[in-house]
């Protein structure tokens, strides 16, 4: 009895493990389909709102100018700028899918149609098989053949892009710039700083001249200070001379008074003689 219970438990555990693996497998596959645009769901985007009800192969034929019932060439012309965005995203999906399979190490069949996500929703896009395979293989070779010259791969992308844009009547532009852009260092190499030796020499000369002028300018205040000192000394001498003359006059007047008094005491009738001045 115990052995049967153990067997049942083991079977339940095994079934649980298998179920978990299946759920994980389908989940991963679903995520991969969403990332690569392989979802088999119908597009959420109503093509009647933007492309007049066209999608997939009909949309491609309309851009090529194939006559379609109920749609004229004048009605197709204003749709081309919007279709260009859808087409570019379609090509990006193919290129990224090739890179993804290159990392996984195996080639996968390439389908012509893809569900392209846009801001308004998903829409089905279609391109010829030779174009789809060409874009896919370039992305695959970029990963699996690292020694391959990138310029050769860019040339292949540009040739395919020229054929696609020319067929649909879209403005031509290099497809490699969209899928394999150059690095900023390669497009815009850093410029080496230029040296201006002459300008530096001129600056040194100007600085030297400026120093000389500054020294000369500083000498003027010294001379002025000296002159001011000399002027002050002259003013002081004049004041001293004037003061000495005044004292001399006072002394002379006192001497004359004393002489007159002495003469008057000795000879009252005699007149005093003037004292000679210096």
CA 10/CA 31 separation, integer angstroms: 32
- Predicted local distance difference test score (pLDDT) of residue 201: 46
Going by the DSSP 8-state scheme, the letter that residue 26 receives in this structure is H
- Predicted local distance difference test score (pLDDT) of residue 39: 45
Q: pLDDT band at residue 14, thresholds of 50, 70 and 90?
A: confident
Q: pLDDT band at residue 274, thresholds of 50, 70 and 90?
A: low
203 belongs to a structural domain: no
CA 133/CA 138 separation, integer angstroms: 9
- Predicted local distance difference test score (pLDDT) of residue 121: 78
91 belongs to a structural domain: yes
Task: State mean pLDDT over 61-79.
Answer: 85
- Predicted local distance difference test score (pLDDT) of residue 245: 61
CA 163 to mean position of chain CA atoms: 36
For residue 49, is pLDDT > 50? yes
pLDDT (tens digit, 9 = 90+) per residue, 88-102? 999 999 999 999 999
Least confident of 4-8, 145-149, 199-203: 199-203
- Predicted local distance difference test score (pLDDT) of residue 264: 67
Please indicate whether residue 49 or residue 126 has the higher confidence score (pLDDT).
Answer: 126
- Predicted local distance difference test score (pLDDT) of residue 47: 57
CA 95/CA 137 separation, integer angstroms: 8
- Predicted local distance difference test score (pLDDT) of residue 222: 47
Classify burial at 156, counting beta carbons within 10 Å of its beta carbon; exposed 0-12, middle 13-18, buried 19 or more: middle
Helix ranges restricted to H, the chain: 2-36, 56-64, 73-76, 80-104, 129-144, 150-168, 176-179, 184-187, 197-266
Name the residue with tokens 């919007």. Answer: 82
Q: How many residues are recorded in the chain?
A: 278
Highest mean pLDDT among 29-33, 156-160, 225-229, 267-271: 156-160
Least confident of 127-136, 242-251, 252-261: 242-251
- Strands 113-118, 121-126: pairing kind: antiparallel
Name the residue with tokens 């649980």. Answer: 16
Average of per-residue pLDDT values in the chain: 75
- Predicted local distance difference test score (pLDDT) of residue 122: 87
- Predicted local distance difference test score (pLDDT) of residue 74: 85
Domain that holds residue 46: 42-182
Question: What is the token pair recorded at 43?
Answer: 């597009």
Q: Measuring CA to CA, how many Å separate 79 from each of 7, 93, 145?
A: 66, 21, 39
14 belongs to a structural domain: no
CA 203/CA 198 separation, integer angstroms: 9
10 belongs to a structural domain: no
- Predicted local distance difference test score (pLDDT) of residue 219: 45
- Predicted local distance difference test score (pLDDT) of residue 126: 96
163 belongs to a structural domain: yes
Name the residue with tokens 């088999």. Answer: 40
* 152 contacts: CB under 8 Å, gap ≥ 6: none
1 belongs to a structural domain: no
For residue 194, is pLDDT > 80? no
Classify burial at 87, counting beta carbons within 10 Å of its beta carbon; exposed 0-12, middle 13-18, buried 19 or more: buried
81 belongs to a structural domain: yes
- Predicted local distance difference test score (pLDDT) of residue 69: 75
CA 149/CA 208 separation, integer angstroms: 59
For residue 5, is pLDDT > 70? yes
Is the pTM above the cut of 0.75?
A: no
Question: Percent of the chain beyond pLDDT 90?
Answer: 33
For residue 240, is pLDDT > 80? no
Question: Cα dihedral angle (145, 151, 152, 158), rounded to 10 degrees?
Answer: 120
The count of domains in the chain is 1
For residue 197, is pLDDT > 50? no
Q: pLDDT band at residue 200, thresholds of 50, 70 and 90?
A: very low
CA 200/CA 276 separation, integer angstroms: 82
- Predicted local distance difference test score (pLDDT) of residue 136: 96
* 46 contacts: CB under 8 Å, gap ≥ 6: 121
Question: What is the token pair recorded at 180?
Answer: 């394999």
CA 248/CA 92 separation, integer angstroms: 121
158 belongs to a structural domain: yes
């Amino acid at each position: 009895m115990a052995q049967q219970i153990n067997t049942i438990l083991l079977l339940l555990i095994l079934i649980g493990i298998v179920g978990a693996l299946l759920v994980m497998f389908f989940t991963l596959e679903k995520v991969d389909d969403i990332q690569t645009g392989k979802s088999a769901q119908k597009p959420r985007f109503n093509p009647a709102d933007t492309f007049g009800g066209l999608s997939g192969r009909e949309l491609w034929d309309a851009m090529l100018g194939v006559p379609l019932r109920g749609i004229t060439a004048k009605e197709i012309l204003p749709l081309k700028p919007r279709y260009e965005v859808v087409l570019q995203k379609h090509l990006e999906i193919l290129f990224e899918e090739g890179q993804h399979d290159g990392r996984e190490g195996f080639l996968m069949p390439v389908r012509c149609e893809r569900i392209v996500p846009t801001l308004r929703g998903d829409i089905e896009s279609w391109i010829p098989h030779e174009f789809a395979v060409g874009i896919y293989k370039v992305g695959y070779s970029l990963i699996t053949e690292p020694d391959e010259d990138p310029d050769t791969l860019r040339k292949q992308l540009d040739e395919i892009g020229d054929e696609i844009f020319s067929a649909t009547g879209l403005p031509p532009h290099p497809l490699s710039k969209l899928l394999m852009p150059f690095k900023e260092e390669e497009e815009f190499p850093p410029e080496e700083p230029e040296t201006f030796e002459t300008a530096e020499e001129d600056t040194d000369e100007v600085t030297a001249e400026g120093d000389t002028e500054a020294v000369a300018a500083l000498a003027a205040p010294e001379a002025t200070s000296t002159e001011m000192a000399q002027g002050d000394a002259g003013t002081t001498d004049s004041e001293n001379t004037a003061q000495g003359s005044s004292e001399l006059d006072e002394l002379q007047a006192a001497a004359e008074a004393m002489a007159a008094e002495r003469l008057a005491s000795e000879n009252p009738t005699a007149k005093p003689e003037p004292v000679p001045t210096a």
